[in-house]
């Protein structure tokens, strides 16, 4: 079976020219870095994902009160993993008062979102860490990676969120794109979102940008693609929604399929047998084992 690497051309001359659909191995993406092993969306986690064999580092972005693009899954401090600067755990009651869009980045950076570990990932190593700027994360990954690395940047916009949790979607998309462009990483990055408006804004900014539509609903391929005025390069559904017919239909349209978040090696094998083009996982080392076996067998 030919496994396909899905992303990108390259922003620096020492990177190989890998366009979507190029015949290479499948794209192994480290979800929020290596969330199963180190704190999510942290620079140590990103570097571990790279060291464990991830081709692409997947991360999430929000915006601070002083218009900084910050790496974070939620637009607030999570009561599950974050602590105040004095070490007190953030409580669920306090979360509404830790809206990152209302906090300057210096304040955001003073919170620790790693020392408590993560109750949903008992094997995760607890480690003090804060929410980095996107620019810092991209620079650190490039500086620490022994090989060319790609990025998958998720824009965390939502209906009704503008002015509350993030800027207007067009502004949000432009801010993120600018940071990635300044890092000379646009051509080796994917921009993904559940919000079609964010993808529309990015498509307007750069028709050549590689875009991925994230999907968690059961509406089906046609209905989800109808939410966009263009066809994205990547269809990225919850792995539970993937079946051979979906993979065939996506490929027939000339797109690639990259499901999330796949944490069991047997499930990875099943999906790869269906012909998916990559996987997003909290455990990049598990995917790297399969990738190594596939290389040996093919």
Measure the CA–CA gap between 292 and 298, rounded to whole angstroms.
10
Q: What percent of the chain has pLDDT over 70?
A: 90
**pLDDT tops 80 at residue 5:** no
Distance from C-alpha of 116 to C-alpha of 138, rounded to nearest angstrom: 25
Is-contact 259 250, C-beta < 8 A? no
Residue 292's pLDDT is 77
> Cα separation of 185 and 198, whole Å?
19
Asked if 150 contacts 190 with a C-beta cutoff of 8 angstroms, the reply is yes
pLDDT on residue 38 = 98
Helices within 145-283 (DSSP H only)? 169-182, 196-205, 221-225, 244-252, 265-274
Tens digits of residue pLDDT in 82-103:
999 999 999 999 999 999 999 9
pLDDT in tens, 35-85: 999 999 999 999 999 999 999 999 999 999 999 999 999 999 999 999 999
- For residue 22, pLDDT over 50 is answered with no
Give me the helix-helix angle, 169-182 and 196-205, nearest 10°. Answer: 50
pLDDT of residue 297: 54
Predicted local confidence at residue 291, as pLDDT: 86
Domain 27-297 has CATH 3.20.20.190: yes
Q: Do residues 154 and 61 touch, judged by C-beta distance below 8 A?
A: yes
The answer to whether 93 touches 121, Cβ cutoff 8 Å, is: no
Maximum pairwise Cα distance, the chain: 55
The answer to whether residue 18 scores a pLDDT higher than 80 is no
C-alpha span between 278 and 275 (Å, rounded): 9
Q: Which of 47, 44, 42 is nearest to 60 (CA)?
A: 42
pLDDT (mean) for 139-160: 97
Residue 150 φ then ψ, to 5°: -105, 165
**What pLDDT, in 10s, does the model give residues 95-148?**
999 999 999 999 999 999 999 999 999 999 999 999 999 999 999 999 999 999
Show the beta-strand stretches assigned E in the chain.
Answer: 27-30, 56-63, 69-71, 150-155, 189-193, 210-215, 234-237, 256-257, 278-281
Task: Determine the pLDDT at residue 276.
Answer: 98
Q: Is the peptide bond before 8 cis (omega within 30 degrees of 0)?
A: yes
């Amino acid at each position: 079976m030919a496994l396909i690497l899905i992303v990108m051309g390259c922003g620096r001359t020492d990177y190989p020219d890998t366009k979507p659909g190029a015949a290479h191995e499948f794209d192994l993406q480290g979800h929020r870095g290596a969330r199963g092993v180190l704190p999510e969306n942290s620079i140590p986690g990103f570097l571990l994902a790279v060291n464990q064999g991830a081709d692409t580092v997947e991360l999430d972005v929000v915006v601070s009160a002083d218009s900084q693009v910050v790496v974070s899954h939620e637009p607030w401090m999570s009561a599950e993993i974050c602590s105040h600067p004095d070490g007190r755990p953030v409580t669920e009651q306090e979360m509404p008062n830790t809206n990152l869009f209302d906090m300057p980045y210096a304040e955001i950076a003073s919170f620790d979102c790693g020392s408590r570990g993560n109750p949903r990932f008992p094997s995760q190593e607890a480690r003090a860490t804060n929410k980095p700027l996107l620019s810092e994360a991209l620079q650190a990954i490039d500086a620490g990676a022994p090989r060319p690395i790609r990025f998958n940047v998720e824009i965390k916009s939502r209906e009704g969120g503008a002015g509350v949790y993030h800027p207007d979607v067009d502004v949000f998309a432009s801010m993120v794109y600018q940071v990635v462009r300044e890092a000379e990483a646009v051509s080796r990055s994917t921009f993904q979102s559940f919000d079609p408006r964010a993808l529309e804004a990015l498509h307007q900014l750069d028709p050549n940008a590689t875009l991925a539509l994230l999907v968690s609903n059961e509406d089906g391929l046609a209905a989800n693609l109808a939410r966009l005025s263009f066809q994205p390069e990547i269809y990225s559904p919850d792995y539970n929604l993937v079946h051979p017919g979906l993979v065939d239909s996506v490929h027939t349209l000339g797109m690639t399929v990259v499901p999330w978040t796949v944490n069991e090696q047997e499930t990875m094998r099943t999906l790869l047998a269906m012909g998916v083009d990559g996987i997003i996982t909290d455990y990049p080392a598990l995917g790297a084992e399969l990738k190594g076996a596939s290389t040996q067998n093919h």
